[in-house]
Structure 1
Amino acid sequence: MESNSEWKEYATGLIKTEIARKNLTLVNVAQKLQVMGISETPQNISNKINRGTFGAIFMLQILKVLDCKELRL
């Protein structure tokens, strides 16, 4: 059975990988979120991602601005 810390690392890696695939910075991600009406600073996004404890809503918002249609689990 996997521990919570392993799940946090997995979630963090998943989001970081998708951002890298799109060749975006966290500044770009923050700008795209702003267009959707979501106010997040690049530092706040970084903190949430690195903690790995973000909620499903935040994850979906990030995936939406990345135009991610599918995930490789």
Structure 2
Amino acid sequence: MASGNNWRQVVQRVVKSEMSVRGVKYQALSDRLAEIGIVQSADNLRNKVNKGIMGADLFLQILMVLNARAVSCESIEEILVDLDQNA
């Protein structure tokens, strides 16, 4: 079973991957969130993403403003397997 830290790394990888695919930096992410009424500084977002610790609401809001691809159980499992193999 995956540890709590592994789940945090899944959150981190999903968000960073979506940001990378779209070429979005933290300031732009902050700006996009502000457009929907969510106030988060770029530094605060960087800390939350790097730690993989954020509320489910913020996670979903980030995915929405990034117009993220669907996150499937299979993709989550692939990340967890990769984390276990590289541990």
Q: TM-score of the superposition, structure 2-length normalised?
A: 0.77
State whether structure 2 residue 26 is matched by structure 1 residue 26.
Answer: yes
Structure 1 or 2: larger helix share?
2
C-alpha deviation, 1:71, in angstroms: 2.3
- Could you list the runs of 5+ residues in structure 2 that have no partner in the other structure? 76-87
Aligned identity (percent) is: 29
State whether structure 2 residue 68 is matched by structure 1 residue 68.
Answer: yes
- Could you list the runs of 5+ residues in structure 1 that have no partner in the other structure? none
**What is the aligned length?**
73
C-alpha deviation, 1:15, in angstroms: 0.7
Could you tell me which residue of structure 2 aligns to residue 9 of structure 1?
A: 9
Let me know the Cα RMSD of the aligned residues: 1.2
* Counterpart AA for 2:17: T
Structure 1 residues 26-67: Cα deviation after superposition (integer angstroms, max 9, x where no partner): 111001111111111000001111111211101011011101
* Counterpart AA for 1:20: S
* Cα distance in 2 for residues equivalent to 1:17 and 1:48: 15
